[in-house]
Each structure stands twice: as C-alpha cells, then as structure tokens.
Amino acid sequence: MTASLNRKLKAVKWGNFKIENLFDSCSGNFDIQKRHINGKGTPVITAGVANYGILGQTDISARIFPAGTITIDMFGNAFYRNEEYKMVTHARVFSLIPKFSLSYKTGLFIASSLNFIHYEFGYDTMCTWEKIKSQSIFLPINTDGTIDFDFMSKYVAELEAERVAELEAERVAELEAYLKVSSLDNYKLSIEEEQAIAAYKSDRWGIFNLKDLYGESTRGKRLKSEDRIPGDLPFVTAGESEEGVSAFIDNKVEIFSKNTTTIDMFGSAKYRNYKYGGDDHIAVVHTEKIPTKAAIFVTSACHKAAHTGKFDYGHNFYAKDADALDISLLTKRGKPDYKKMETLISAVQKIVIKDIVLYAERKISNIKKVIVRNNKKTKV
C-alpha cells in the first residue's frame, strides 16, 4: 500500500457502528455436503479461506442468498459475495444481509473491516451471529456522522488500481527477464539477416532425403496412460495440444536428445529443445548434430513435406515414412546451407518478437515514470 493511501486512511473520520444495526443474519436451510457438489448450479459457501470458502457448485435444492451480502464463517472469516450462493448449515457459516445498499467496492471495504473478529474464534469457540451482533466495527463517516460510502468506494478503487499496476509491473519484468535469458531482447536485424530475407526467394534450394541427412528415424514406444508414473520427463505423443506433450513421467523409457524433431502420426512436425520420451505415435528425426536454428528450419521443412493431409487415423505417419521423406532446404555447392538457414531463422525470430519487445519497453518506461511520480508524492 502506498503512503498516499495510508494518509487517506489516517485523515478520514471514523465512526463506531454495532453490527446488528447494520445487518440482519440469515443461515442456510439444508445441510449441503461434499457429496452434493456436482459442478452444476450455484456456488456453495463453507468455512475456511481456501478459494474464499467456496466448496464448489451444486444444483441441489437449498436456500439461495442474493448477491451483495457478506458471509462470516465459524472462524470469523468475512467475505463479500458478489454473486448468488448457497450455504452449508450447522453454524459453519452464516450470512449478513445489509440494511443499506451495498455496492461491490463498499462490500469489500466493510468485509475487510469485519475481519478483526476472526482473532476471537476457532474450533473450540465458533463464531455465531449471537456472539458478534452486539460488537462494533469502525467505518469512515461524513461530517454528519453517516457512513461515508463514497470514500470507501474510491479507496477500494484506488487500491485495486495500485494492485493492478503492481501485477502489470511484475508481468512486464518477467517478460523482460525472459527475453534477455532467451536472447530475444534484440529485434534489430543485422546486415547479414537483412540480406538473407531479401535473397530468400532467389536463393538456391535442393531436395534432400531425411534418412540420407540424419540417419534412420526412431519410433517411440507405447506407454498407456494408466501406466505412466508422474515425474519430470516430458512425454510426447500425437496432437497439437501442449505441443503434443501429454504428460510428465518418471517411467524408464528411451530418452531422446534435445535439438531433435518429432513428426507425429498426422505428419505434424515439431522442434524439441529439451530431452523427452515419446510413444509409438511419433517419429524422431535426429537433427541433434546440426545448429539449433538450422534444426528449427529443418523442422519447418519436415512439416511442410509431411503435413499435407495424406496422414490421419486410418493412415498413420511412421518412422519409415520419415526415412522416405524428401524435404526442400537451402543449398550451397549441392549441400544443405545450415549457416544461411541459421541466419534466416534468426531474422524471422527478430521480426516476430519485435512488437513484443517494443511493447515491453513501452510498459517498462511507463511503469518507471509512475514509480518516480509516486516517490515524489511520498516525499511531499
């Protein structure tokens, strides 16, 4: 919280209000249990702070409480509810129905003001309406002694805006760090990269057989879902979801090298910059001995040659199909020109990330200006 918000809290006038003068109490009318939670219907509120006390959803018949109320559980934890809900019974949680109009932001402020009561209750001494109704809470007031809802609303809005700015700053900092670690923070093309882009269409190309270039491809082995032991090794299978990584395992399987290419049963090729295992729905092309960016270029060429619609569930792409696959590559003196492939991929990467880097730079610059401005306000 900034010094500015702290000063506002200290400057505002406060009044003392009995809880029973502000709220009525109401409880649930049916003992909703975990077995009733089916993911359908209305959220169910129970005791605890995990997930804001939301047990799950149910469509079982029970009293529905309106949005815009506050719940207090057996431990004294208070939460504002901005949607309809049901409650478990047996005094584990009850609802405070306001005797005044309660907006989202004022609801959050008052719920926070009520949270002092949770220090008084626990398993041995559970919080109930009878125990707290005569207690008082302190709220901001106007000069005439009425509750200053406008202050509460503006204060929460400013607090939320401050938190959003903090989260945005964290995300931008993470993005900046990632770009630097990945060597993707430089988007300016070198002369060599500009020349590679300009000469792309007029360059010499040749047709090459995968097996001749990288040896026999390897087929993965089947590992049923129920036999997979959770672990850290990515396990690759067919499909586009999660780049084909279906699980992380600890089984003893063949581990394929990073800087290789997988082609799945549908002919979809993907570059792998990490070690992994694979099932029998993928073929591994052993590009590990060529430079990284050149391997990415080769993967693109494999995808273009194999992912033509020829392969599907009825006609799978196998390792033998990879060995027979011919791909088109840049050449020099009749051999693959890996140097030029590297340069071209490097140029493409810079073009792709340019807008992201510029966005990050603008955000970082703006955040630094806000920080400087806030520091100046704090010193005043």
Buried b (16+ CB within 10 A) or exposed e, 294-306: bbbbbbbbbbebb
Please check whether the domain covering 10-152 is classified as CATH 3.40.50.10490: no
- Of 142-151, 300-309, 360-369, which gets the smallest average pLDDT? 360-369
Tokens of residue 145, six digits: 């002694």
pLDDT in tens, 26-69: 999 999 999 999 999 999 999 999 999 999 999 999 999 999 99
Give yes or no for a contact between 249 and 221, defined as CB atoms under 8 angstroms apart.
no
Quick check: 376 pLDDT over 60?
no
pLDDT at 140 over 50: yes
Confidence of residue 123 (pLDDT cuts 50, 70, 90): confident
Nearest alpha carbon to residue 67 among 85, 48, 42, 53: 85
CA contacts within 13 A on the Cβ side of 132: 30
- Residue 69: helix, strand or coil by DSSP? strand
Distances (CA, A) of 246 to 200, 235, 279, 281, 348: 36, 6, 10, 12, 29
DSSP-derived 3-state class of residue 262? strand
pTM of the predicted protein model: 0.55
Architecture of domain 205-336: Alpha-Beta Complex (3.90)
Domain with CATH 3.90.220.20 in the chain: 10-152, 205-336
* pLDDT confidence band for 341 (50 / 70 / 90): very high
Across 280-292, average pLDDT: 96
